Structure 1
Amino acid sequence: MSAWRLPPETSADAVLLVSELVTNAVCHTLSVRILCGIGLIADDCLRVEVHDHGRAAGGLPRCEPGPEDEGGRGLLLVQEIAHTWGVDRSPLTGGNAVWATLMVSDRERGTCVDEEMPGAAAPRRAS
């Protein structure tokens, strides 16, 4: 990300997104291998992906953590930090491809274009 000269806060958000998505894949799937990808899909839009062997039909399960719970907030963080995010069937693993886009923070906020990383679905907002 430093080679792309991304602002430090964008890089920190990307690291947090990957961490949360990988943690979910490790904790909630029986994956023997998890693949991560990151790329600029436009000058002002960064995309991260995590591919696992899970099979979350209809999307990822939602969690309503209580105030004393130590976990269950990963996707809530993803939803708050990401510009868009979602889950699709992974053509690489046959499981889930969970992805998120970030707008580069020191540039004017716009929309991420519909370009994509190889094998991934076009960006859309998860519900």
Structure 2
Amino acid sequence: MNQQNTTQVLSPARHFTVLLSPTPRGARLARLLAVEWMRDHEVPYGVTEAATHVVAELAANAATHGRVAGRSFRLALLSQPDVLRIELTDTRGEDLPRVQPPCPEGDSGRGLLLVEALADRWGVGLGPVPRKTVWAELDLPRP
């Protein structure tokens, strides 16, 4: 009996990570770096557009609510064949994000609603102390 040995070749994961200052400038830089990285790695346009908004919202939250003087926040992007994962890590683990009804008169408070609408999944991971990581995943279309 002749058996064929077949091996499935999986595409390697592509990863990007950077530390940024917890300021509005750092949040803008997170968005710009994410856009360039996704463009370089040929993430489909529709996913890139949604992911750009997700990065902008999560980075703004990290710079605003996760800010601790002298401590950076981390942006990480991980692209696998079927999913793009976005992670923003800050050092305010005691301050967990939660979706809240927006105040009609307010200029803020809608970021996580937008993340929830654009991402296929999102959540929060704790640790190591004092860190928390807010993550979002967007499914990639199959070729």
Q: Same fold (TM over 0.5)?
A: yes
Which runs of structure 2 are paired with 1:1-127 in the superposition (5 Å)? 1-31=38-68, 32-40=71-79, 42-56=80-94, 59-91=96-128, 94-104=130-140, 106-107=141-142
Task: Work out the CA distance in 2 between the residues paired with 1:100 and 1:56.
Answer: 20
The CA deviation string for residues 63-84 of structure 1, in whole angstroms up to 9 with x for no partner, is: 2213232110000011111111
Long gaps (5+) in structure 2: 1-37
Equivalent pairs counted in the alignment come to 104
- Secondary structure, in 3 states, of the residue corresponding to 1:2? helix
The offset of 1:100, in angstroms, is: 0.4
- Secondary structure, in 3 states, of the residue corresponding to 1:70? coil
The CA deviation string for residues 93-114 of structure 1, in whole angstroms up to 9 with x for no partner, is: 731100000012x438xxxxxx
Select the structure that is richer in helix.
2
The offset of 1:5, in angstroms, is: 1.7
- Secondary structure, in 3 states, of the residue corresponding to 1:85? strand
The offset of 1:14, in angstroms, is: 1.3
TM-score normalised by length of structure 1: 0.72
Answer with 1 or 2: which has the greater Rg. 2
TM-score normalised by length of structure 2: 0.64
CA contact (8 A) 1:51 1:90 kept: no
CA RMSD between the two structures:
2.0
| Runs of 4+ off more than 3 Å | none
- Secondary structure, in 3 states, of the residue corresponding to 2:117? helix
Long gaps (5+) in structure 1: 109-127
Identity %: 33
